[in-house]
Amino acid sequence: MEDLIKILKDLHPDVDFDTCTTLIDDKILDSFDIVTVISEINEEFDVVIPAEEIVPENFNSAQALYALIKKIEDED
Amino acid sequence: MNMQQRNVMEYLDKIVLQYPDKVAFSNEDPGCDLTFEMVYDRSRAIGSLLQSKGYYAEPVVVFMKKHPNAISAFFGCVYGGCYYVPIDEEMPKFRTELILQTLNPRVMICDDETREIALSMNFAGEILLYSEAIKAEIDECALNRIRDKQIDTDPIYIVFTSGSTGIPKGVVACHRSVIDYIENLSEVLEFNHDTRFANQTPLYFDACLKELYPTLKFGATTVIVPKSLFMFPIKLVEFLNEHKINTVCWVVSALTMISSFKTFEKIKPEYLTNIAFGSEVFPIKQLNLWKEALPNCKFTNLYGPTEATGMCCYFKVDREFDLNESVPIGGPFKNTRILLLNEKNELCKDGEEGEICVVGTSLTIGYYKNFEKTNEVFVQNPLNNIYPELIYRTGDIGKRNERGELLFVSRKDFQIKHMGHRIELGEIEVNVNNIDQIRTCCCVYDKEKDKIKLYYVGDIETGEIISILKEKLPRYMIPNKAEKLDVMPLTANGKIDRKKLASM
């Protein structure tokens, strides 16, 4: 989880990713961020997020995104 | 091209007779559809209102959210003989205020939401509410008088681009340059009345001309894609299919967002037959994924500066490219000439690199209230010492390949293209340097990763800098990475060592 928070903090040092649950709804993350986050997750966790999982629900909070990474890791 | 056409609104005057009830502009909400008749009536009402209030031949700021209504407000300004200046609701207040200072406009058109923001900005002029303005009575006589008076070199809009001094520059375009552009672009991309555009680019740049005016010319349809969909590839393709989109003119990053996530394994755009892209280099690997997914689709690379109205060169992708090649920018539209000038201001020889210069009717008028900057780049053709002939020096370096096709090589200065936006790194640096605790800073662009990196010396945390910049600069200009240094590396001449920073 810490590694993920670091990826997000690099993009938006001013956001509290531990508590924020409206990253998409409040337009904190934009399309560029999503692309960056997905490629960094790929590097850091060796996890490929498939297109069908790139939906608002999975990116609204760090927790949701972390749960998605875990889910994909478990499936492998 | 109809040689008689002097005014861009003649497109609408004509097409409304043919397709009054067809939807011209729409978005994800069917309740917001605007038919050609609605666009015609609303924009003429706005034009009449501006006229009756004494606004003429002056900038009218259109400060509205991205919506079909905003487009009809643009046209309203043109019917009124004024020129529209689109301002975005997501633009930071500081930047909007800078633009307003340059323009000093007397009037602004707002929707209900942006009106509140405008009021909080101490805007001294009159605010016209869109929902009220469209109820104004159409004054046929006044609109005809305006039309008769107008000439085709009168301005129709101003769009602002990044300026290296920290102050955005307003590029002024006229009827003639836009008509020339639309006619030639339409011929190359073969638009027609069945064309269904999905608009991606913001309405506050020239990029959206590619959809707005051909829609009027042909009686086509433009659907505005919600910005949030460009984060979610499958939803985006579903949207294209739902709206039966057959044509897109998008920045490359919007297209690669779809292809790079293997979206095509799940879903493909079913109706898409015409893809134009530009403003950035299309990685061949991604282009190949698109070609594979849509074997019958036409792909066209477009190139052009805002100062030449929109695009001025095109290349129809007609062959395979190696992964290390780049797609050519090809050659000019009809009625445009491209000169490649070397440092001695001579025409480049085969394969020699030089500055891409544009000649022709498609040149815009120049920068608003800035003769100095205008005269630096809109200059006399150095090859012509017989009569006055303006060229626009793009600052882009290009060369011709062995097939005679133009290739984009790099920039002459510190301007970059990031996510399809044109950015002066100097504008970011000026805003960082204005922060009290900053001693020195430098921005470099990592082309490979498409990232802006900020290096600085000063007693301030990176998070704080980013927060401050977010209040001053548009989202796409915020550095992707900021790093604090103890000392700034310098060259032997004492300048900031950009090369060293770039390799860090």
Which tens digit of pLDDT belongs to each residue from A26-76? 888 988 788 889 988 988 899 989 999 999 999 999 999 999 999 998 887
Average confidence (pLDDT) over B420-441: 90
Q: Tell me the chain A residues in contact with residue B456 when contact means C-beta distances shorter than 8 Å.
A: none
pLDDT at B376: 96
Residue B420: how many CA atoms within 13 Å on its side-chain side? 22
* pLDDT grade for A14, boundaries at 50, 70 and 90: confident
| Residue among B90, B234, B480 minimizing CB distance to A51 | B234
Average confidence (pLDDT) over B251-270: 92
- Which percentage of chain B shows pLDDT scores above 70? 99
Q: Tell me the chain A residues in contact with residue B257 when contact means C-beta distances shorter than 8 Å.
A: 31, 35
Residue of B308, B317, B427, B321 lying closest to B356 (CA atoms): B308
Q: How many angstroms separate the CA atoms of A57 and A65, rounded?
A: 9
pLDDT at B55: 98
Q: Are B84 and B160 in contact (CB under 8 A)?
A: no
Average confidence (pLDDT) over B389-418: 92
Domains B1-172 and B225-409 alike in fold: yes
Average confidence (pLDDT) over B243-252: 96
Most B-contacting residue of A15, A32, A52, A68 (CB-CB within 10 A), to test interface: A32
Q: Are B57 and B82 in contact (CB under 8 A)?
A: yes
Q: Tell me the chain B residues in contact with residue A50 when contact means C-beta distances shorter than 8 Å.
A: 261-262
Collapsing DSSP to helix, strand or coil, B326 comes out as: coil
Q: Tell me the chain B residues in contact with residue A34 when contact means C-beta distances shorter than 8 Å.
A: 231-232
pLDDT at B134: 98
Quote the strand ranges of B154-297, DSSP E. 155-161, 169-174, 196-199, 221-224, 247-251, 274-278
Q: Are B420 and B253 in contact (CB under 8 A)?
A: yes
Domains and CATH numbers, chain A: 2-75 (1.10.1200.10)
The yes-or-no verdict on residue A23 having pLDDT over 80 is yes
What strands lie across the sheet with B107-110, from one edge to the other?
B126-129, B107-110, B59-63, B83-87, B155-161, B169-174, B366-367
Q: Tell me the chain B residues in contact with residue A56 when contact means C-beta distances shorter than 8 Å.
A: 228, 231-232
Q: Are B159 and B91 in contact (CB under 8 A)?
A: no
DSSP B237-267: HHHHHHTT--EEEEEHHHHHHHHTTTGGGT-
Q: Which fold has domain B415-502?
A: GMP Synthetase; Chain A, domain 3 (3.30.300)
Average confidence (pLDDT) over B130-147: 98
The yes-or-no verdict on residue B461 having pLDDT over 70 is yes
pLDDT at B3: 57
Distance of CA B364 to the CA centre of its chain: 13
Q: How many angstroms separate the CA atoms of A66 and A71, rounded?
A: 9
Residue of B160, B60, B208, B163 lying closest to B368 (CA atoms): B160
Q: Tell me the chain A residues in contact with residue B254 when contact means C-beta distances shorter than 8 Å.
A: 31
Q: How many angstroms separate the CA atoms of B182 and B188, rounded?
A: 10
User: What pTM value is reported for the model?
Assistant: 0.91
Residue B312: how many CA atoms within 13 Å on its side-chain side? 26
Q: Quick one: closest CA in B to A29, which residue?
A: B231
A64–chain B Cβ distance below 8 A for any pair: no
Collapsing DSSP to helix, strand or coil, B226 comes out as: coil
Average confidence (pLDDT) over A11-33: 89
| Residue among A14, A35, A38 minimizing CB distance to B466 | A14
Interface of B with A (CB under 8 A): 90, 227-228, 230-235, 253-254, 257, 260-263, 265-266, 419, 461-464, 466-467, 470, 475-476, 480-482
Encoded tokens for B377: 């780049």
Could A29 and B233 be called an inter-chain contact, meaning their C-beta atoms sit closer than 8 Å? no
pLDDT at B495: 81
- CA B495 to each of CA B326, B413, B430, B434, B452: distance values in angstroms, whole numbers, following the listed order: 33, 15, 16, 19, 20
- CA B281 to each of CA B134, B414, B417: distance values in angstroms, whole numbers, following the listed order: 42, 17, 9
- CA A56 to each of CA B98, B212, B237, B353: distance values in angstroms, whole numbers, following the listed order: 34, 30, 15, 46
The yes-or-no verdict on residue A16 having pLDDT over 80 is yes
At residue B186's C-alpha, the angle toward residues B377 and B184, to 5°, is: 40
Could A30 and B231 be called an inter-chain contact, meaning their C-beta atoms sit closer than 8 Å? yes
| Ramachandran angles phi, psi of B217, nearest 5° | -65, -40
The tokens 């008028």 sit on which residue?
A: B365
The tokens 């900021």 sit on which residue?
A: B482
Could A30 and B475 be called an inter-chain contact, meaning their C-beta atoms sit closer than 8 Å? yes
The tokens 């796409």 sit on which residue?
A: B476
Using the CB atoms, write b or e for B472-494: b if 16+ within 10 Å. bbbebbbbbebeebeebeeeeee
| Residue among B235, B263, B466 minimizing CB distance to A13 | B466
| Residue among A34, A36, A50 minimizing CB distance to B262 | A50
Which tens digit of pLDDT belongs to each residue from B45-69? 999 999 999 999 999 999 999 999 9
Average confidence (pLDDT) over B230-254: 95
Give domain B1-172's CATH superfamily.
ANL, N-terminal domain (3.40.50.12780)
A10–chain B Cβ distance below 8 A for any pair: yes
In sequence order, the 6+-apart residues with CB closer than 8 A to the CB of B306 are B159, B161, B171, B205, B206, B364, B422
Average pLDDT, chain B: 94
Class of residue B458 by CB neighbours under 10 A (exposed 0-12, middle 13-18, buried 19+): middle
Among the residue ranges A9-13, B175-179, B212-216, the one predicted with the least confidence is A9-13
- CA B283 to each of CA A41, B258, B322, B389, B480: distance values in angstroms, whole numbers, following the listed order: 22, 13, 10, 37, 21
Which tens digit of pLDDT belongs to each residue from B341-388? 999 999 999 899 999 999 999 999 999 999 999 999 999 999 999 999
Q: Can you say whether the dihedral through the CA atoms of A45, A48, A53, A54 is positive or negative?
A: positive
Q: Which CATH architecture has domain B225-409?
A: 3-Layer(aba) Sandwich (3.40)
Could A13 and B266 be called an inter-chain contact, meaning their C-beta atoms sit closer than 8 Å? no
Q: Tell me the chain A residues in contact with residue B90 when contact means C-beta distances shorter than 8 Å.
A: 27
Top-confidence residue, B379 or B447: B379
Distance of CA B471 to the CA centre of its chain: 22
In sequence order, the 6+-apart residues with CB closer than 8 A to the CB of B319 are none
The tokens 């012509």 sit on which residue?
A: B384
| Residue among B232, B461, B475 minimizing CB distance to A54 | B232
Q: Quick one: closest CA in A to B226, which residue?
A: A31
The tokens 């600069």 sit on which residue?
A: B473
**Entry field: residues in chain B:** 504
- In chain B, where the domains are located: 1-172, 225-409, 415-502
The tokens 């401050």 sit on which residue?
A: B468
The yes-or-no verdict on residue B1 having pLDDT over 70 is no
The CA distance from B6 to the nearest CA of chain A, in Å, is: 40
